[in-house]
Structure 1
Amino acid sequence: MIISRIHGGLGNQLFQYAVGRAVALRTGSELLLDTRAFTGANPFQFDLGHFEIQARVATERELPPAKNRPLAYAWWRRFGRAPRFVREQGLGYNEGIATIGSNSYLHGYFQSQRYFDEIAPTLWQDLTFKQEPRGENARMAERIRSAPSVSMHIRRGDYLNSAKGRSVHGGPDLGFYKRALDQVRQRSGSDPIVYLFSNDPDWVRDNMKMDAELVPVAINDGKTAHEDLRLMSLCNHNIIANSTFSWWGAWLNPSLEKVVVAPAKWFSDPDLSNPDITPPGWLRID
C-alpha cells in the first residue's frame, strides 16, 4: 500500500492525493489516506470526499503510530519499520519520489505538477465532482458559462490576519491583479467578465476597483469550498493568488486555450522558494 498523510486546506489535500495516486499507480499499490489530522480543533475539514477519488480512508489499524503514542512513534521512525516514512525535502520537486517503492508513507505538501504530470488524464477523471452544483452555485455556473470569463482569487484572511501569515505568505497587491487582467485580455483577445473569489468578500467589494465587469462570488464558506473550486475551473481563464486553492481551480480548468496568470512571488519570506510551483505555460508576473 501507499499511505498519504492528508492535512491542510483543500488545495493541499489535492496535492497530497495526487502524489499518492501517482506513486500508487507506478508501484501497483492501493492508496490509503491518513486523515487523523482532521480533529475537532482543526480549522480545516477533509474535503476529498466530494471527488471521485480512487483511494480510501485508512483504518487506525492500517496506519503507523501517531505522535500521541510517542514510544511507538519513535520506534517506527528510528528503526524504519513499514510503512517506510518518506518526508518531503524542501519546497521544490523531490526527484526521489519517482523511485520509492510500495509500503511507503508520504508526509509533506508536494506542491508541483511534476509529481503527477504523467497521470494527468487519470487525475482529471479522479477529480470530477460526485454531485452536480445546486441552487445558487448552479445559477452561477450557468452565468460563468454564458460569456467569456476569468476567475480572480484574492486570498486574505489567514494570509494577512497574523504576523506569521504575513511573513510567510502575504499576498499580491492590487497592481498585480490589474496587470494580470491586462495579460489575459492581450493573450485571449477577449474582454472577459471577472469573477472575484475571496475568503474576505467584504474587503473585495470595497477595494477591488478596475476597468472591467466585476462579479463577486460570495456563495460558499469553508464547508463548501469545493464549490468555489468548481466555479473557478469553469471560467475560461484564471488569475490565481499565491494559493494552492486557486492553483487547483486553474489546473482543473479543462480549456486548452486558457490563460493562467500567477504571482511571481509565491512567498513573502525571501528564504522560501518553490521553483516548481507552476506548470509550464502558466504566466508568472510581478
Structure 2
Amino acid sequence: MLTTELYNGQGLGNQLWSYVVTRALALDRGLDFGIMRREKFKGGDFMGLDFGKRVEGGSGPEGGPPSSLPRGIINYYVEKDIWHPEHHCDIRDYDPGLPAVPDNTKIEGLFQSEKYIAHRKNEIREWLRVKPAFDCRDFSAENICILNVRGGEYKGNPDLILPRKYWTDAVANMLLVNSRLKFVVITDDVKYAGNLLPEYKAFHFDIGKDYCIVKNARYLILANSSFSFFPAWTSEAVKYVIAPKYWARHNVSDGFWACAFNLYRDWLWQDRDGKLFTFEECESEYADYKVENGLEKFGDKPPSPRRSLLEKYARGILDAASKAKHRLLD
C-alpha cells in the first residue's frame, strides 16, 4: 500500500495533488492506496472521492512528520526539494525517487509535477468528477473569460502576489484570441480583487462553486495557485489558458521556476512584459538557464531564513519530515 495524509493546513489544491499522485503511483505499481485523515478533505461537499483502503493507526503533529507510522506501513519518503540560494525559494522539480518507493510507504511532499500523473489524465478526470447537484455552468458561455485571482495570504508576499499588470496584459492577450470576450473574476478575496481590477465584477461563492466555474470556463487567466490546477487541467470545456511564467516567482525570476515542476503543457505562459510563451519555449529556456547557472549545485536546504510565514510553515514541515524519514528508515 501507498498512503499519504491530509492536513488542515493544506488548501484544496494541495490536498488534491496529494490524493491524485498517491493514487496514480499506486495504480502504476499495482498496489493498494489509502488516504489518512480523509475527514480533513476540503472538497467533500461537492466531490465523492474514493479514498482507497482504510488506513489504521499512525500519529504525529499537524503537518508531520509522523511519530509513528500506520499499521503495515514500514517506510516513509519525503519528496526531494531544491532551494534557490539567492531568492530563498523552493525550485524543486520532478523527483524520480518518488515513483520508485517500496510497497508499504507513506509519502509526503508537494507532488505538483505533471510527470507523476499525465499518463492517467482520463482516469483522474473521472476520479475528480463533481457531484451533478453541485456542478455550475453559470459562467461557461462561449464569450466569457474567467480570471481566477488569488488574494488572501498571498498579499503578504510581494514576490508571490501577482500585480495588476499581469492581469491587464493577459486580458489584452485574450482579446487578441476572441475580441468578444467579457471578463469575470472568481477569487478567494473579493475585496482585494475589487480594488485590483475594479473594472470587472468579482465573485466568491463557496469553494465548490468556484472550482466548478473554473472547470467549466472556456477561457482562463490563472493565478500562481494550486487551487486552479485540477479544474483547469481536467476541464473538458477550456480552449485557452494563460498562466504566469515562472509561477510563484513571476515577479522576480531571472529565469528560474518556483517550482520547476509547475511548468505545465498546453497552457501559455505570460512574462512580466506581457509576452506569451509555449511550454516548449519555456522548457528550452529553463534547460539553458540550469546549465548556465549551475542549478545542480543548489542544495536541499534553504540558505536564508528570509521567508514568508507560509514558506516558513512549509519549510518547517519538510525539514522535520526529512529528519523523520531518515530516523524511520535507519
Q: Classify the TM-score, shorter chain.
A: 0.7 to 0.9
- Cross-structure match for 2:3: 3
**What SS does the aligned partner of 1:105 have?**
strand
Corresponding position: 1:126 with 2:111: no
Which residue number corresponds to residue 73 of structure 2? Answer: 82
Tell me, in whole angstroms, the C-alpha distance in 2 between the residues paired with 1:272 and 1:261: 16
Name the % identity.
20
Q: Could you say what secondary structure the match of 1:95 adopts?
A: coil
TM superposition shift of 1:272:
7.3
CA distance change for structure 1 residues 248 and 261 in 2, over 3 Å: closer, same or farther?
same
| TM-score of the pair, normalised by structure 2 | 0.68
Instruction: State whether structure 2 residue 195 is matched by structure 1 residue 215.
Output: no
Give the superposition deviation at 1:245: 0.6
Query: Offset of 1:206 from its aligned partner?
Result: 3.4
In structure 1, list runs of 5 or more residues that go unmatched: 39-44
**Deviation (angstroms), 1:228:** 0.5
Q: Partner of 2:67 in structure 1?
A: 73
Task: Tell me the number of residue pairs that the alignment of Structure 1 and Structure 2 aligns.
Answer: 252
Where do residues 256-267 of structure 1 align in structure 2 (5 Å cutoff)? 258-267=239-248
1:127-170 alpha-carbon deviations (Å, 9 max, x no partner): 10124237xxx5xx23x23342221111111111x4xxx16x62
- 2:58: which partner in 1? 64
Distance 1:96 1:215 in 2: 45
C-alpha contact 1:261 1:282 (8 A) present in aligned 2 = yes
Q: Is the 8 A contact 1:2 1:32 kept in 2?
A: yes
Are 2:177 and 1:177 aligned? no
What is the rounded CA distance, in whole Å, between the counterparts of 1:246 and 1:95 in structure 2? Answer: 25
2:17 counterpart of 1:32:
no
Q: Displacement of 1:196 after TM fit?
A: 0.4
Match in the other structure for 2:290 = none
Change (3 A) 1:28 1:54: farther
Q: Which residue of 2 aligns with 1:193?
A: 182
Distance in 2 separating the partners of 1:117 and 1:262: 19
Corresponding residue to 1:50 among 24, 28, 46: 46
When normalised by structure 1's length, the TM-score is: 0.77
Pairwise CA distance, 1:67? 4.4
Contact 2:46 2:134 survives alignment (8 Å): no
Taking a change above 3 Å as real, the CA distance of residues 209 and 67 of structure 1, as seen in their structure-2 partners, is: closer
Distance 1:101 1:282 in 2: 34
Structure 1 counterpart of 2:265: 280
Asked whether the equivalents of residues 197 and 217 of structure 1 are also in contact (C-alpha less than 8 Å), the reply is yes
* Partner residue, 2:217: 235
Contact 2:121 2:234 in 1 (8 A): no
Is the 1:35–1:46 contact (alpha carbons within 8 Å) kept by the matching residues of 2?
A: no
Contact 1:5-1:108 within 8 A present in 2 as well: no
RMSD (Å) for aligned C-alpha atoms? 2.9
Q: C-alpha separation between the residues in 1 aligned to 2:26 and 2:179?
A: 42
Instruction: Look up the SS of the partner of 2:97 in the other structure.
Output: helix
Contact 1:27 1:101 in 2 (8 A): no
Partner of 1:151, secondary structure, is: strand
Q: What's the offset of the Cα at 1:177?
A: 0.7
Contact conserved, 2:194 with 2:201, CA < 8 A, in 1?
no
SS in 2 for 1:195: strand
SS of 1:177's equivalent in the other structure is: helix
Q: From 145, 149, 156, give the equivalent of 1:154.
A: 149
**Alpha-carbon spacing, 1:23–1:182, altered in 2? closer, same or farther (3 Å):** same
String of CA shifts for 1:49-80, please: whole Å, max 9, x gaps: 63242324744xx2434249x9x827x6xxxx
Matched residue of 1:64: which SS?
A: strand
CA contact (8 A) 2:142 2:218 kept: no
1:101-126, CA deviations, whole angstroms, 9 ceiling, x for partnerless residues?
A: 32121111111211101110000001
8 A contact 1:6–1:35 mirrored in 2: yes
Report how far residue 190 of structure 1 moved. 4.3
- The 2-side partners of 1:98 and 1:156 are apart by 34
- The residue identity in structure 2 corresponding to 1:192 is L
